[in-house]
Chain A
């Protein structure tokens, strides 16, 4: 517990966390705005709308899942929690304080949970405001179904799990720039492709993005299809699995290396 508190204090005493939070907010607001803007507009293959209309329940379900799109940023924060220690050579002091190194990794994962939850709650609050404003304006009726609760919980889970994924990735790669580039390339290029190309989807559903989509799956098909995804619980397990696997491999390899 003390170590988790120390990790959170490390975050709070530097500036990066609020830069990342601001970027997350901006990005999610953009997503919410676009969805509101295009809701009910034509453009599908037969002229039917891609996004459900603002007065429909699927629209609300779709909106509640959008927060997950901001997961890249807490993930980067998770990466930096680990790599900054090597970049600024604070890792020496950290390991002198806690010579059992795997405890440091575990503490960072613990702090990552808190970070992910905090980001998730902010993102859900934004969503709540966006939904509460846009739906009544279009004379829709606000709903809070079990499905929406599941989606909202899924958003929290995705943000937490991506943060952990970042910590694990950072521990494995250690080089800050390298790890961030790897994360961005992975999320924006590899995962996006693998989940967009039908033939690759059997693989795609096992990627963090596929697993993340499973967790927040609203069932609203934006043209890419959602049937191939894992069940929500399995998605969460897959995401957690990545974080644990990376951290465990890192603890056994990179983290054990000599600090000279």
Chain B
């Protein structure tokens, strides 16, 4: 059974089809990046999965059940969502104690969870005084309170500084790869999650665009290497003998079917000087940049 299973999910807000027939699954001990530009429907998908929005059609299951049917939701699923906040007058510790009481978790979990996210020092401070990054950490503590095996995070890196993002990555990797949690993390910035995700699901305008393992997406398609040399006539036959396909372009060669390293070796053997060897952007990045409208075409 998948930890998260979304099948044909549809949700419209009036005329806007925010989520339009999205399907994917997330398995235990993996991290899945849920990517898409602003307004793609990521938040709507996650909120529907968590029972905060009612989907128009389709199913969204966690551990094989609808979220609202989970007997102890906080012990199964942890969520960090956008537009979630804290009562400014309540302290961080009290915020978590309320959750422990409501979810019938041991009281000590409140302090432990703060410790886990590095907020132990400010446990008794009112949330009023918290920076955006501290709130984000507190939100993470909220998600971790019941030791869930499924984590759902909507743009968790928002408001974190580079050190905080680094910490978050390490933390998610630890929870997933060492503790076996299934992690679904959304982002509109590929670079934010590229280093940690095993799988990727990309949506745009509510529709699924691509999904697969990161390795698959990066390797499939025509990830090619650009090579610049003044002696193309000597290099091309050598590369072709080694099984590569070479396209000649104005001023550079586009070589596919060989790793950059082998190309370098062949050039060395042929005593050809290379002025540039560059891996083209992976397919994943191409797709994503085109979707977000930041690509060059």
Contact = CB atoms under 8 A, between A and B. Distances in A.
Interface of A: 2-3, 5-6, 9-10, 13-15, 84, 88-90, 92-100, 256, 258-260
B88 interface: yes
B205 interface: no
B275 interface: no
B171 interface: no
Interface in B98-137: 98-99, 101-104
A13 B90 contact: yes
Shortest beta-carbon contacts, A-B, top 4: A6-B102, A13-B94, A89-B85, A99-B68
Nearest to B100: A6
A5 B70 CA distance: 21
A15 B94 CA distance: 13
Contacts of A90: 84-87
A260 B43 contact: yes
Nearest to A256: B54
A14 B51 CA distance: 28
B231 to A, nearest CB: 60
B87 A258 contact: no
What is the interface of chain B mostly: helix, strand, loop, or mixed? mixed
A9 B70 CA distance: 24
A96 B74 contact: yes
B91 to A, nearest CB: 7
Contacts of A13: 90-91, 94-95, 97-98
B17 to A, nearest CB: 15
Contacts of A259: 47, 52-53
Contacts of A256: 54
A9 B52 contact: no
A256 B52 CA distance: 9
A96 B73 contact: yes
Interface string B20-60: 00000000000000000000000110010011111000000
A84 B53 contact: no
A5 B99 CA distance: 11
B67 interface: yes
A97 B83 contact: no
A15 B84 CA distance: 21
B87 A6 contact: no
Given A99-B68, A260-B44, A260-B53, A92 B83 contact: yes
27 contacts: A2-B103, A9-B94, A9-B101, A10-B90, A13-B91, A13-B95, A14-B89, A88-B85, A88-B88, A89-B83, A90-B86, A92-B52, A92-B84, A96-B50, A96-B51, A97-B73, A97-B74, A97-B102, A97-B103, A99-B67, A99-B68, A99-B70, A99-B73, A259-B52, A260-B43, A260-B44, A260-B83
A74 B104 CA distance: 28
A258 B54 contact: yes
A65 B142 CA distance: 46
A161 B88 CA distance: 29
A89 B74 CA distance: 18
Contact of A97 (B54, B86, B94, B99): B99
Contacts of B61: none
A96 B85 CA distance: 13
B81 interface: yes
- The interface centre, meaning the residue of A2, A3, A99, A100 with most chain B CB atoms within 10 A of its CB, is A99
Contact of A15 (B43, B73, B89, B142): B89
B212 to A, nearest CB: 29
Contacts of A89: 83-85
A259 B104 CA distance: 24
B146 to A, nearest CB: 9
Nearest to A3: B102
Given A96-B74, A99-B68, A10 B85 contact: no
Contacts of B85: 88-90
Contacts of A5: 101
Nearest to B77: A96
B45 to A, nearest CB: 12
A258 B101 CA distance: 25
B79 interface: yes
A130 B94 CA distance: 38
A10 B98 contact: yes
Given A6-B99, A90-B84, A96-B73, 15 more contacts: A6-B102, A9-B98, A9-B101, A13-B91, A13-B94, A15-B89, A90-B86, A92-B52, A92-B84, A93-B84, A93-B99, A96-B74, A258-B53, A259-B53, A260-B47
Contacts of B51: 95-96, 99
Contact of B98 (A6, A15, A100): A6
A103 B153 CA distance: 26
A96 B98 contact: no
B166 to A, nearest CB: 26
A93 B47 contact: no
A100 B83 CA distance: 21
Nearest to B139: A93
